[in-house]
C-alpha cells in the first residue's frame, strides 16, 4: 500500500507551528487534489489547508486543538486502489517512526496556498525515478517499471522570494527542506547565515537546556505569597504576538508625538453623506497622502546592510481587535484606491480578519499601520510599532470638548492623533510634517480631498 504523508507547510509567515482548529475530513474519506482537509490557526489567521494528494484518508496526525510543528506530518493519504486496506494507523518502523512512503506523487491543479502548491497537469513538472518502491501485490492496471513520478513542485511564497532577493540569493540555487523540496523562510535564513558563518571549527555542540517542569495551579508563588488560581497555556497566536512585540521594543529606537485635532468638519461631512465612506476610511486616505509626502515612513530598516528601504507602494495595515487578539491585516495597494474604494476594502478586510479569513499575505504584508483605538473608547495610546515596519499612527475617540475658534470659545468634535516612529529613519521634523498633513486634512476634509 502506498501512503503519501502530507506535512504541514510553512504558510508564508515563517511560523514553526500551527494549531488544528477543525478537520474537514475523516479517516476513510475520499479526497481529491487541492481539496481542503483542515483549518489551522497560524499566528495571525485561520487558513484552510488543501491536500496535494488524491486518495483515501489513512490517518490524521493530530486532534482538533492540538499544535503541530511545521514540517511534521499533517495527514496521510492512501491510493484510491487500496481503499479496502485502509487501517486506523500505519505500521511503525524499527526506529519508532510510522511507515512513510518517501516519494511524493500525484497530479494537481496548480492551485497555490501561500508557501506551497501542487503540480500543473502536463509535462512541465520536474520528474524523478522511483527508488525502493514496494511492489504492489495486484496492480490495478499495467505499469512501466521505474516510471517517472511527478513531484510536488518547488513553489515559494512572495515573502520568501522577497527575502531571498533582498539577500542577493537566487531561489533556484537554494535547497528546500519543506514538502516536496519546498523552499521555506527557514531555508533562506539558513542560506544567509551560511554566507556569513566562518569556517567550521571543532567547537563542541551546545547543550540544549532542559525545560523546567510546569508548576501546578494552586501552588504558592514565593514572591507574592499568594496561591495561583489558574495557569493558561499561551496559544500559538499569543506566543507570536509576544515575540513580535518584544522584538519591536528591543530593536526599534521609538519616539512618539501627538496632536489634538478638531474633527468637527469631518464629522459633518460624514453626517451629510451617511451612505458614503466612514470616518476611518477618510483618515486612511489622508494617511496615504502623508506617506506619499514622507516615504521614509513607509519602509523598513535593513540593519544588516545599513540601509533604509522605502517601498514603491503602500500596504496600509489596520489594527483589528478579534476574539483571538489584536491583528493588523493590510489593505494591499492602498495607494491605488479612491476614498470610496478604500472604504469598501476596509470593511471587507476588517470582517475577514475578525472571522480569521484574511489571507497570509494580507496578515503579513503591511508597510504601515493605522490604529483606531478610539473604537475602544480611549483617547490615546503609546502604540508599539509593528516590526519590521517603522511607524504606526493612532486615532482616539472623537468627543465634545471646549475649543477656541477665531478667538471665541465653543464646543467642537476633538480627537487625538498619536504617532510612534523609528528614530533611525527620520527625525522629529519629518514625523511632525506627516502628522500635520493628516491633521490638517481632518480639520479641512473638503479642501484636502480636492487636492488629492
Active site residues: 423
The set of cell numbers assigned to 166 is 533582498
Q: What residues contact residue 314 under an 8 Å CB cut-off, 6+ apart?
A: 288, 291, 292, 298, 333, 334, 335, 367, 368
Give dist(CA 261, CA 259) in Å, integer: 6
Give dist(CA 147, CA 152) in Å, integer: 16
Determine phi and psi for 321, rounding to 5 degrees: -85, 125
Determine phi and psi for 282, rounding to 5 degrees: -65, -45
**Strand pairing report for 316-318 and 368-371:** parallel
**In 3-state terms, what secondary structure has residue 438?**
helix
Determine phi and psi for 210, rounding to 5 degrees: -70, 145
Give dist(CA 136, CA 129) in Å, integer: 17
Residue 54: closest CA among 27, 71, 35 = 35
**In 3-state terms, what secondary structure has residue 91?**
coil
Residue 103: closest CA among 138, 149, 72, 54 = 149
Across the chain, which distance is largest between two alpha carbons, in Å?
Answer: 95
Amino acid at each position: 500500500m502506498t501512503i503519501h504523508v502530507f506535512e504541514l507547510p510553512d504558510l508564508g509567515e515563517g511560523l514553526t507551528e500551527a494549531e488544528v482548529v477543525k478537520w474537514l475530513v475523516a479517516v476513510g474519506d475520499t479526497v481529491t487534489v487541492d481539496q481542503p482537509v483542515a483549518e489551522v490557526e497560524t499566528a495571525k489567521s485561520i487558513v484552510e489547508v488543501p491536500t496535494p494528494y488524491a486518495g483515501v484518508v489513512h490517518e490524521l496526525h493530530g486532534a482538533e486543538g492540538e499544535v503541530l510543528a511545521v514540517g511534521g506530518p499533517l495527514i496521510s493519504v492512501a491510493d484510491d486502489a487500496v481503499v479496502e486496506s485502509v487501517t486506523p494507523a500505519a505500521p511503525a518502523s524499527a526506529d519508532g517512526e510510522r511507515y512513510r512512503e518517501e516519494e511524493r506523487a500525484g497530479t494537481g491543479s496548480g492551485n497555490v496556498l501561500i508557501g506551497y502548491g501542487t503540480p500543473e497537469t502536463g509535462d512541465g513538472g520536474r520528474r524523478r525515478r522511483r527508488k525502493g518502491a514496494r511492489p504492489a501485490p495486484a496492480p490495478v492496471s499495467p505499469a512501466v517499471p521505474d516510471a517517472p513520478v511527478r513531484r510536488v513542485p518547488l513553489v515559494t511564497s512572495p515573502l520568501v522570494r522577497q527575502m531571498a532577493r533582498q539577500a542577493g540569493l537566487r531561489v533556484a540555487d537554494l535547497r528546500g527542506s519543506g514538502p516536496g523540496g519546498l523552499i521555506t523562510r527557514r531555508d533562506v535564513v539558513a542560506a544567509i547565515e551560511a554566507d556569513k558563518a566562518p569556517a567550521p571549527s571543532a567547537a563542541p555542540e551546545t547543550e540544549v537546556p532542559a525545560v523546567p517542569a510546569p508548576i501546578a495551579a494552586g501552588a504558592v508563588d514565593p514572591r507574592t505569597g499568594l496561591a495561583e488560581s489558574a495557569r493558561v497555556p499561551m496559544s500559538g497566536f499569543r506566543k507570536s504576538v509576544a515575540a513580535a512585540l518584544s522584538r519591536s521594543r528591543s530593536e526599534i529606537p521609538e519616539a512618539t508625538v501627538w496632536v489634538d485635532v478638531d474633527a468637527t468638519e469631518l464629522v459633518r461631512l460624514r453626517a451629510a453623506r451617511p451612505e458614503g465612506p466612514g470616518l476611518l476610511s477618510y483618515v486612511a486616505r489622508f494617511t496615504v497622502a502623508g506617506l506619499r509626502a514622507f516615504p521614509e515612513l513607509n519602509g523598513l530598516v535593513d540593519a544588516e546592510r545599513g540601509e533604509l528601504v522605502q517601498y514603491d507602494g503602500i500596504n496600509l495595515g489596520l489594527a483589528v481587535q478579534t476574539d483571538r487578539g489584536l491583528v493588523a491585516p493590510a489593505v494591499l495597494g492602498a495607494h491605488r484606491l479612491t476614498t470610496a474604494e478604500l472604504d469598501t476594502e476596509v470593511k471587507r478586510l476588517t470582517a475577514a480578519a475578525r472571522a480569521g479569513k484574511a489571507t497570509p499575505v494580507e496578515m503579513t504584508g503591511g508597510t504601515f499601520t493605522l490604529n483606531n483605538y478610539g473604537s475602544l473608547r480611549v483617547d490615546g495610546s503609546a502604540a508599539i510599532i509593528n516590526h519590521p515596519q517603522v511607524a504606526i499612527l493612532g486615532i482616539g475617540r472623537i468627543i465634545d470638548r471646549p475649543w477656541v475658534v477665531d478667538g471665541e470659545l465653543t464646543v467642537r468634535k476633538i480627537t487625538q492623533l498619536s504617532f510612534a516612529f523609528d528614530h533611525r529613519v527620520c527625525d522629529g521634523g519629518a514625523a511632525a510634517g506627516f502628522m500635520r498633513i493628516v491633521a490638517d486634512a481632518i480639520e479641512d476634509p473638503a479642501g484636502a480631498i480636492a487636492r488629492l
